[in-house]
Amino acid sequence: MKIGDIANRTGLKVETIRFYEREGLIDAPRRSDGNYRLYNHSHLDRLSFVKRSRDLGFTLDQVRDLLRLAENTRNSCDEVDEIVAVHIREIDRKLGDLAALRDEVVRWGGGCDANTIANCKVIDALSSGLPGQRADAIT
């Protein structure tokens, strides 16, 4: 398969595939006489694994480790479990941050009863983070 074909089959962009190759996540494909990259089914499987892992939010380093671990099917799953546990903790941290962000936006953005922008609590809350500026000073 040429790079466009494998991009279509994996849902990845051509540049992303090249990036993954540079990062060592996939082996360099052989080249045609015209110097086109020629991918095989093992590339397709590996790129699909990488894409799914990235879609689930794993970092490139975690994906690299998971790929390394997947190469020896007789090994224990302990390292995989630890990578997943670290990832879950990071997801939980992000969920906490998002919940706090939502609470903040709800607190000041739950509806503005002002008649003009000069008295709008949403604009005021957004402007309060700007040093020395208030809502009425922003144009």
Instruction: Specify the CATH number for the domain of residue 48.
Output: 1.10.1660.10
Is residue 38 within 8 Å of 63, Cβ to Cβ?
no
Q: Where are the alpha helices (DSSP H) in the chain?
A: 3-10, 14-22, 41-55, 60-70, 78-109, 121-127
Residue 1 lies in a domain: yes
Range of the domain at 25: 1-56
**Chain-centre distance of CA 57, in angstroms?**
5
- Residue-level pLDDT at 34: 93
- Residue-level pLDDT at 106: 84
Q: Residue 138: CB partners within 8 Å, gap ≥ 6?
A: 123, 127, 130
How are beta strands 30-31 and 37-38 bridged, if at all?
antiparallel
- Residue-level pLDDT at 135: 44
Residue 3 lies in a domain: yes
- Residue-level pLDDT at 138: 47
Q: Pick the closest to residue 9 from 32, 43, 37, 36 (CA basis).
A: 43
Per the DSSP assignment, residues forming a β-bridge with 30 are 38
Residue 123 lies in a domain: no
> Does the model's pTM come out above 0.85?
no
Q: Pick the closest to residue 45 from 59, 69, 27 (CA basis).
A: 27
- Residue-level pLDDT at 111: 67
Residue 71 lies in a domain: no
Domains held by the chain: number: 1
Is residue 38 within 8 Å of 54, Cβ to Cβ?
no
- Running along the chain, 139 residues long, what does each successive block of 10 average in pLDDT? 96 97 95 94 97 97 96 92 97 96 80 76 74 50
Residue 91 lies in a domain: no
